[in-house]
Chain A
């Protein structure tokens, strides 16, 4: 990766001259906002740009996603409601930007600061990016999902910053008595040719506008970029490593005491009655015990005392939604719903049938919400991917007007799709209202495992036919437990389309199938290609959601396992085969890069193997080369209380995100995707038995740990291709999961058909469901090291 220089010290020779910036460039529209210091706004959601090819009619499946992916849907959804974001220049010389998106580790605050730094020519550390409260007027534009943030923010933020810079230069010209074209800017200071200088902070009042007016700006040409495309560290890194980064549970709201919920023994059970509420109220630290819709809420001086009180409650429960369901009954129902292959598969047939089990989508920071409900208003602090929907739901729940509900978006300790759902806020709101006190409600880890949301169990069947050196047909039929799309596009009207019963299978027809068709593709020239989705149950039978990607980790893993078999049938090397058949030059370029940097084809010991796969989505492409060690001595290595199994020893991924705004952030996202891919292929799943998820914490839900992580992980960021940023958060998972699965098949000689590969052996003793929470141990000092 090339480092193209630093924004902090552009030399005056290189500083772009004003007239040059205006020639032959697209003009972007923004607004000067009437304010005491300079404030510049721009439309959010790409409405500043000329119409793009994406406005063409939606082509029909099967390969809809190639032309028109999920991001186009989101971006178009945003268009008619486009609203404003604003960059403000403060008198201390800093710039502020209140971002209507959720930061959950994916690095979007850093990215936003980089876009501002680029156009404004202000150092990164002088740019404060905060997370905006819910702003209902933004409608679809305050929804963090589908890795859409970089795509939708790229031009609006730069437009606002570019206008601010022009305006500041204009003010400097007046103050210094020099024409604008003779001024230069360095790190937020404007210089006259004679060396006289004036800082942005001194100019902002003069540059401010008396009234709100429309203005135009030109943006830098990519050849002039000194910040965008260069690797930068996260702007919140220092806060994170000193413990100063604040999450919802660190928020000190007066009287918002720790609160937890005693939950039912089976999925979505409900409370009927409590036998000993009064006794529990007398327990040390406990202040309140109230029944809410999902369980019994307990408020106490410390969370530890909440845990003890929750476990002391004697509750009678109503059954849940799936008390008679287990892995095998769900699988049987999936099997019944499977569609028949419809293409005519002549020639030699290659086929496979794969099962993907339930996976938990919890982040490390548990669901947390601080709420303060009063008679006439409510205030909420929580990490939220869909804050407007949250505000609307809380207003509806309390019977308050929308503007009586304030929703503050907190930094999230991971999201992965979980924080699109506002259930923790609704619980906290109900508890705060019934207790008449503010609460800080946190889910216990065991709640997250047993009552949290999960990636739906599914089957994926692939049938392909081969003749001579060609693939004639490739058909994939995916059958899944319904995914809950009721968070819609983050706003209550669209969310309700997912639930209105009169619309029948609205969730499936309205969201699940369009999303499937908008995201799934077969990135190879395989003749006649077809894929389809069937869902079982309704959206709310199981609590489901996405887990760092929707269907593609499973869908693409099934495909790539078959691709390896087709290559084998033709007697071709897996890499050479993909090279020949891949249907996109960008995909071929990342494939070549990963193969070359990962030393594809090097000698591997028996029991170990390489595999290589590709993926394209979110206007980007990845290729992933994996080396795995499946030798007995590795598989059976001993780590106390841990699942070991095959070890992925090395991963090399090449990624083309169109334009990587921050290549270092992109690398981090891909590395995270790799760890998810390893987990989903090898170790991470939930076991369902009679309506209970057996996993109860991180010691039995086996997400990738240090002892499962590769010794070497390399991510190569390709130079810009399309010049437009693509999505990153979820892009890395599918090729990584597929490559691990393919490597396992090549190392062991057995193609796995059930994922994760260790699912069929239960390697732990399930924690009890009553009392619901595992008590905290007391022997911690024994393990000090």
Chain B
């Protein structure tokens, strides 16, 4: 068992645990960071969506041993700090559209939305319905209509 070290939401952490434990459980069960949610454990529901070095990924499907010392993990808790505000523009858009119902999927939805907007821009266009169709995050409460609107609003402020 070795000690793994990396950065979570701007802070360096040290975790002594078996290398094959998936990062989601290190975040939730060991570090007590509860924003990333469990919904499947096999990279299909996307409730655990967080960022690694600014890109969306699913920590339920990554071994902690595969995270490198310089890697920066951002969960929903750390998203506002990435823009130096109380809330990220995407979170503000979520509030304005009153997107959440039970809220369980929403940290993942927001993290996915932010990355999707950036990805579209890297490809040289603004986020479109076709891009939103590619987002795989499930919402069992069915908030998709408001998510679609909020992503477009949030993108304008990003």
Interface residues in chain A, defined as those with a beta carbon under 8 Å from any beta carbon in chain B: 104-107, 233-234, 236-247, 249-250, 252, 258, 284-285, 301-305, 307, 362-366, 411-414, 416, 442, 444-445, 639, 641, 664, 668, 671-676, 697-699, 703-707, 709-711, 713, 773-774, 776-781, 783-785
Are A778 and B76 interface neighbours, CB within 8 A? no
Are B104 and A365 interface neighbours, CB within 8 A? yes
Q: List 28 A-B contacts (CB under 8 A).
A: A105-B100, A106-B101, A239-B103, A241-B103, A242-B80, A243-B77, A247-B104, A302-B17, A303-B25, A304-B24, A363-B140, A364-B140, A414-B104, A445-B40, A445-B41, A445-B45, A672-B141, A673-B142, A675-B142, A698-B138, A703-B138, A705-B136, A706-B133, A706-B147, A707-B133, A709-B144, A776-B22, A780-B43
* Cα separation A283 to B103 with both chains bound (whole Å): 35
Are A243 and B145 interface neighbours, CB within 8 A? no
Are A242 and B87 interface neighbours, CB within 8 A? yes
Known contacts A301-B30, A672-B143, A711-B129; can you find 5 more A-B pairs with CB under 8 A?
A247-B37, A364-B104, A445-B45, A705-B138, A778-B22
Are B141 and A243 interface neighbours, CB within 8 A? no
In the complex, which residues of chain B have a beta carbon less than 8 angstroms from the beta carbon of A785?
55-56, 115-116, 119
Q: Does B66 interact with chain A (Cβ within 8 Å)?
A: yes
In the complex, which residues of chain A have a beta carbon less than 8 angstroms from the beta carbon of B147?
706
Are B42 and A774 interface neighbours, CB within 8 A? yes
Closest to B86 in A: A242
In the complex, which residues of chain B have a beta carbon less than 8 angstroms from the beta carbon of A673?
142
Are A241 and B142 interface neighbours, CB within 8 A? no
Q: What string of 1s and 0s marks CB contacts (under 8 Å) between B88-103 and chain A?
A: 0001001100111111
Are A250 and B145 interface neighbours, CB within 8 A? no
Q: Does B5 interact with chain A (Cβ within 8 Å)?
A: no
* Cα separation A252 to B129 with both chains bound (whole Å): 40
Least CB distance, B88 to chain A, in whole angstroms: 9
Are A706 and B132 interface neighbours, CB within 8 A? yes
Query: Contacts A241-B99, A245-B103, A776-B22: A365 and B37 contacting too (C-beta < 8 A)?
Result: yes
Are B145 and A710 interface neighbours, CB within 8 A? yes
Q: Does B8 interact with chain A (Cβ within 8 Å)?
A: no
Closest to A247 in B: B104
* Cα separation A390 to B8 with both chains bound (whole Å): 39
In the complex, which residues of chain A have a beta carbon less than 8 angstroms from the beta carbon of B37?
247, 364-365, 413
Query: Contacts A285-B18, A668-B101: A781 and B39 contacting too (C-beta < 8 A)?
Result: no
* Cα separation A233 to B97 with both chains bound (whole Å): 8
Q: Does B127 interact with chain A (Cβ within 8 Å)?
A: no
In the complex, which residues of chain B have a beta carbon less than 8 angstroms from the beta carbon of A239?
103
In the complex, which residues of chain B have a beta carbon less than 8 angstroms from the beta carbon of A236?
100, 103
In the complex, which residues of chain A have a beta carbon less than 8 angstroms from the beta carbon of B45?
364, 445, 697-698
In the complex, which residues of chain A have a beta carbon less than 8 angstroms from the beta carbon of B20?
778
| Cross-interface CB contact of A105 among B52, B63, B102, cutoff 8 Å | B102
* Cα separation A437 to B36 with both chains bound (whole Å): 26
| Cross-interface CB contact of A780 among B1, B29, B59, cutoff 8 Å | B59
Least CB distance, B76 to chain A, in whole angstroms: 4
Least CB distance, A736 to chain B, in whole angstroms: 10
Least CB distance, A551 to chain B, in whole angstroms: 20
* Cα separation A579 to B32 with both chains bound (whole Å): 57
In the complex, which residues of chain B have a beta carbon less than 8 angstroms from the beta carbon of A242?
35, 76-77, 80, 87, 91
Query: Contacts A639-B133, A778-B62: A243 and B104 contacting too (C-beta < 8 A)?
Result: no
**How would you classify the secondary structure of chain A's contact residues: helix, strand, loop or mixed?**
loop
Across chains A and B, which 8 residue pairs bring their CB atoms closest together, nearest first?
Answer: A243-B35, A105-B102, A675-B142, A240-B103, A413-B104, A780-B61, A713-B145, A672-B142
| Cross-interface CB contact of A414 among B25, B59, B140, cutoff 8 Å | B140
Q: Does B26 interact with chain A (Cβ within 8 Å)?
A: yes
Q: What string of 1s and 0s marks CB contacts (under 8 Å) between B138-155 and chain A?
A: 111111111110000000
* Cα separation A445 to B44 with both chains bound (whole Å): 11
| Cross-interface CB contact of B142 among A107, A303, A674, cutoff 8 Å | A674
Query: Contacts A243-B75, A363-B140, A706-B132: A237 and B66 contacting too (C-beta < 8 A)?
Result: no
Are A671 and B100 interface neighbours, CB within 8 A? no
| Cross-interface CB contact of B57 among A411, A697, A781, cutoff 8 Å | A781
In the complex, which residues of chain B have a beta carbon less than 8 angstroms from the beta carbon of A285?
17-18, 21
* Cα separation A673 to B101 with both chains bound (whole Å): 12
Measured as residues with beta carbon below 8 angstroms from the partner, the interface class of chain B is 35 or more
* Cα separation A703 to B105 with both chains bound (whole Å): 14
In the complex, which residues of chain B have a beta carbon less than 8 angstroms from the beta carbon of A675?
139, 142, 144
Closest to B24 in A: A304
Are B138 and A364 interface neighbours, CB within 8 A? yes
* Cα separation A419 to B7 with both chains bound (whole Å): 37
In the complex, which residues of chain A have a beta carbon less than 8 angstroms from the beta carbon of B139?
364, 675
Closest to A364 in B: B140
Closest to A284 in B: B18
* Cα separation A58 to B24 with both chains bound (whole Å): 54
Least CB distance, A50 to chain B, in whole angstroms: 35
| Cross-interface CB contact of A699 among B17, B42, B61, B134, cutoff 8 Å | B42
Which residue, of B41, B55, B66, B143, has the highest number of chain A Cβ atoms within 10 A? B41
In the complex, which residues of chain B have a beta carbon less than 8 angstroms from the beta carbon of A676?
142
Least CB distance, B19 to chain A, in whole angstroms: 10
Are B63 and A778 interface neighbours, CB within 8 A? yes
Closest to A106 in B: B101
* Cα separation A444 to B57 with both chains bound (whole Å): 20
Least CB distance, A113 to chain B, in whole angstroms: 14
* Cα separation A244 to B78 with both chains bound (whole Å): 12
Query: Contacts A442-B38, A675-B142: A784 and B94 contacting too (C-beta < 8 A)?
Result: no
Least CB distance, A696 to chain B, in whole angstroms: 9
Least CB distance, B56 to chain A, in whole angstroms: 5
Are B102 and A776 interface neighbours, CB within 8 A? no
Are A302 and B26 interface neighbours, CB within 8 A? yes
Which residue, of B95, B105, B136, has the highest number of chain A Cβ atoms within 10 A? B136
Least CB distance, B47 to chain A, in whole angstroms: 6
Are B98 and A668 interface neighbours, CB within 8 A? yes
Which residue, of B43, B100, B138, has the highest number of chain A Cβ atoms within 10 A? B100
Least CB distance, A705 to chain B, in whole angstroms: 6
In the complex, which residues of chain A have a beta carbon less than 8 angstroms from the beta carbon of B1?
284
Are B91 and A784 interface neighbours, CB within 8 A? no
In the complex, which residues of chain B have a beta carbon less than 8 angstroms from the beta carbon of A773?
41
* Cα separation A253 to B60 with both chains bound (whole Å): 23
* Cα separation A241 to B76 with both chains bound (whole Å): 8
Are A783 and B39 interface neighbours, CB within 8 A? no
In the complex, which residues of chain A have a beta carbon less than 8 angstroms from the beta carbon of B29?
258, 301-304
* Cα separation A697 to B137 with both chains bound (whole Å): 13
* Cα separation A285 to B38 with both chains bound (whole Å): 19
Are A365 and B26 interface neighbours, CB within 8 A? no
